[in-house]
Structure 1
Amino acid sequence: MTSRVGVIGGGQLARMMIPPAIELGIDIRVLAEAEGMSAAIAATEVGDYTDAATVLGFARDVDVVTFDHEHVPQTVLRALVDAGISVQPGPDALQFAQDKLAMRERLGELGVPMPDWARVADADELDAFLADHGGQAVVKTARGGYDGKGVRVVTAAEQAEDWFRALDEDGNGGALLAEELVDFRRELAQLVARRPSGDLTLWPVVESIQRDGVCAEVIAPAPGASLRLAEMAAQIGTTIAESLGVTGVLAVELFETTDDRILVNELAMRPHNTGHWTIDGSTTSQFEQHLRAVLDLPFGATGIREPWAVMVNILGGPADGDLDGPAARALADQPTVKLHLYGKSPRPGRKIGHVTAVGDDLDDVVFRARAAAAFFAG
């Protein structure tokens, strides 16, 4: 009997699950937020993912529900579980990807290395944190932030005044997350996949290059990563996946500090931008592995096909909105580079696709990937 996977969310992550689903003979169905989204080709329904009745109606005809994003409310997730529907990852795990304060508290209980942090409910508490941390801090909204949104570097509590005001207006006694401003050498990411039965596998740790809070490039494996660093990243990823009961793909974003520590920055419990290189660079992509994991199927190998893989995001796109011309030029100029477009209309800062190059010379691989992406510059 054909397995049926329902994906909540119609973005590019759902779109990139479609090819491996077809290859594995999986019936993939998508609940999209709106018409014309990236995964429209597999969208069997368009509706509100925050409405329990809508999501239950979509989910009753699939074997397992998984996600393109982490924004489905806990009340909806638990309604699915109460209805006997397999939800992977489940709400008990997803809560730690949805709420950064809850994540920090739980990782602290696990002894996972992270930046110094505090829950700050008002300006006085933030000022106190600033005073204890050299007058600078990173402030984050507990929920909803991504790609640099909901994150500020501040030197005074008044710089987060609007966020505190919003907390007061909400009336639920919320708080912001304050973190030390980490002196880091670079950002890394460790991707893990875990099945409900407990089987777990990892890809090599990668370097993630950010621009304006958005992932711009990923290099796999992380250049110069020592065996010690790779083992530390793998152990952190394994501990988090097992202790939180994560199923599917888990991305652990990390800081490598200037004093040689590895600290956890963020978590994502679904395929992640730092794993897009696996489509062309690994034996098994993160998207195929995610489908295998949520269905509790045996894992594919996660080895890298060539010594190096480099992914470069296409951000913004051409000002005139014409992607056909840049795509044709990129393919002609860099025939060994793989192009992935997401079916999105260009706008400043928007991720509309990515390119991946692989090979045995890192400088050459970086050049080819950047050259292909440059054809789409606005």
Structure 2
Amino acid sequence: MDPNTQLPAVGMIGGGQLARMTHQAAISLGQSLHVLAADESDSAAVVTPRTTVGDWSDAADVLAFAEGKTAVTFDHEHVPQEVLRALEDAGVRIEPGADALLYAQDKQAMRERLSKLDLPMPRWAPVSSVSDVEAFGYPCVLKAATGGYDGKGVWMVDNPTEAQEVLSSGVRLIAEERVPLLREVAVQIARTPSGETRVYPVVETVQRDGICVATIAPARIGEELEAEARRVAETVASELGVTGMLAIELFQTNDGLLINELAMRPHNSGHWTIEGAVTSQFEQHLRAVLDYPLGSADLTAPVVVMANILGGPDGGPRLDERIQKMAAEIPEARLHLYGKAIRPGRKIGHVTVSGADVDSARRSALRAAQWIREGR
């Protein structure tokens, strides 16, 4: 507990934009969010007064940070298992726990566990040689079992030469079939330690070069697939013992839905919830890790579109001028910048537009993101 407010003090390991937006949610709840950042210039560190700079892979740093916290949670899945176990051995309440986080950290472990639950997934296999990949079959997707994100650690492979190039990196790999997609979707669920759950509407995620560039809520997939996605979310959250927010990325194919990835934290596919849902994913995550009653996940408008803002080329109008021009042209857009240095292709913020129909909301959101990215 915070000695000044007598309200919970939550520790979040990681100082990126997810921690930054969780801090904003904590303010309205009266809670104190403490952040363990890698650098004082991290997105959350520049706005969160209770920031500690340290190494999330060092058990001593993490244990010192966790002291006195009501609960500790994460804005990424990269904290090593040995550090997570050290926290649990020391009696620190971490949400989600090490046993659950393993399945967000290790794609092979995730695939093995979900296979036992008979959940829908692409055909897959662990591979360690070209002959393994040939036995699996081309074309396929090779994925690093650990450490990949935003398209990193994913390789499209069509022949033995390409497979050998990936295998020579020495990373542990799994192979997955390359499935024909109708669209990519995502579903988020919050789960408390006592087992209460709340599922958000399924959303469409528009991908480019492995990065989500836009999210459309709700997804245009029909009631049957919506119900199936919700069933998958409930099963995964319960069977894996997840606490806090869980995001499940899915492929929609002609034969239904297939699970792609898991993330046990607030997620880019849920940024729309800040304006577009009764309870944002960030507030919901805090409620869940503290075992508070969960808030409503209902939409606040018929359609909500979020567009990521990626860093653009050098030159052009200064950022403040871009913001003013965007606000004048598209007053319905809600802007969130992450306080990051701008580099081409880097996520520096997002915009959200709520409305009555998909096409107009999407046009406005993408146009607003273009203003910030390109200055025109």
TM-score over 0.5 for the alignment? yes
Please tell me whether residue 54 in structure 1 is matched to residue 61 in structure 2: yes
- Contact map agreement 2:335 2:350 (CA 8 A) in 1: yes
Equivalent in 265, 290, 315 of residue 310 of structure 2: 315
- Contact map agreement 1:117 1:177 (CA 8 A) in 2: yes
Partner of 2:353: 357
Distance in 1 between the 2:322 and 2:370 partners?
A: 9
Partner of 2:3: none
CA displacement 1:92-119 (0-9 Å, x = unmatched) = 0000000000000000000010000000
Equivalent in 94, 104, 111 of residue 118 of structure 2: 111
Equivalent in 123, 130, 133 of residue 126 of structure 1: 133
TM superposition shift of 1:366:
1.1
Equivalent in 161, 170, 194 of residue 158 of structure 1: 161
- Contact map agreement 2:9 2:33 (CA 8 A) in 1: yes
Structure 1 range deviating more: 82-91 or 311-320: 311-320
- Contact map agreement 1:31 1:58 (CA 8 A) in 2: yes
Structure 2: which amino acid aligns with 1:91?
A
Structure 1: which amino acid aligns with 2:252?
E
Matches within 5 A, 1:33-48: 33-40=38-45, 41-42=47-48, 43-48=50-55
Please tell me whether residue 215 in structure 1 is matched to residue 218 in structure 2: no
SS of 2:226's partner is helix
Partner of 1:149: 152
Distance in 2 between the 1:244 and 1:33 partners?
A: 29
Equivalent in 65, 70, 83 of residue 63 of structure 1: 70
Partner of 1:93: 100
Structure 2: which amino acid aligns with 1:213?
G
SS of 2:213's partner is strand
TM superposition shift of 1:159:
1.4
Under a length normalisation based on structure 2, what TM-score does the superposition of the two structures give?
A: 0.95
Distance in 2 between the 1:125 and 1:316 partners?
A: 39
TM superposition shift of 1:162:
4.2
Structure 2: which amino acid aligns with 1:13?
L
Structure 1: which amino acid aligns with 2:177?
E
Matches within 5 A, 1:296-307: 296-307=291-302
TM superposition shift of 1:320:
3.4
Structure 2: which amino acid aligns with 1:241?
A
TM superposition shift of 1:336:
1.2
Runs of 4+ in structure 1 deviating by more than 6 angstroms, as ranges, are none
Distance in 2 between the 1:311 and 1:262 partners?
A: 23
Please tell me whether residue 236 in structure 1 is matched to residue 209 in structure 2: no
SS of 1:79's partner is helix
* Aligned-pair identity (%): 54
Please tell me whether residue 340 in structure 1 is matched to residue 340 in structure 2: no
Structure 1 range deviating more: 233-242 or 153-162: 153-162
Distance in 2 between the 1:277 and 1:46 partners?
A: 29
Partner of 2:35: 30
Partner of 1:78: 85
Structure 1: which amino acid aligns with 2:64?
G
TM superposition shift of 1:329:
1.2
Structure 2: which amino acid aligns with 1:161?
Q
- Contact map agreement 2:193 2:288 (CA 8 A) in 1: yes
CA displacement 1:184-231 (0-9 Å, x = unmatched) = 1000000000000000010000000000110000000002x2110110
Partner of 2:26: 21
Please tell me whether residue 138 in structure 1 is matched to residue 141 in structure 2: yes
TM superposition shift of 1:18:
1.1
Distance in 1 between the 2:169 and 2:34 partners?
A: 37
CA displacement 1:118-139 (0-9 Å, x = unmatched) = 0001111011112xxxx20000
SS of 2:168's partner is helix
Partner of 1:205: 202
Which ranges in structure 2 are unaligned for 5 or more consecutive residues? 1-5
CA displacement 1:136-190 (0-9 Å, x = unmatched) = 00000100100000001101233133442332xxxxxx73110000111000000
Distance in 1 between the 2:307 and 2:19 partners?
A: 19
Which ranges in structure 1 are unaligned for 5 or more consecutive residues? 168-173
TM superposition shift of 1:353:
0.3
Please tell me whether residue 269 in structure 1 is matched to residue 264 in structure 2: yes
Partner of 1:171: none
Distance in 1 between the 2:269 and 2:65 partners?
A: 29
CA displacement 1:54-77 (0-9 Å, x = unmatched) = 000000121100001000000000
- Contact map agreement 1:221 1:308 (CA 8 A) in 2: yes
TM superposition shift of 1:318:
5.0
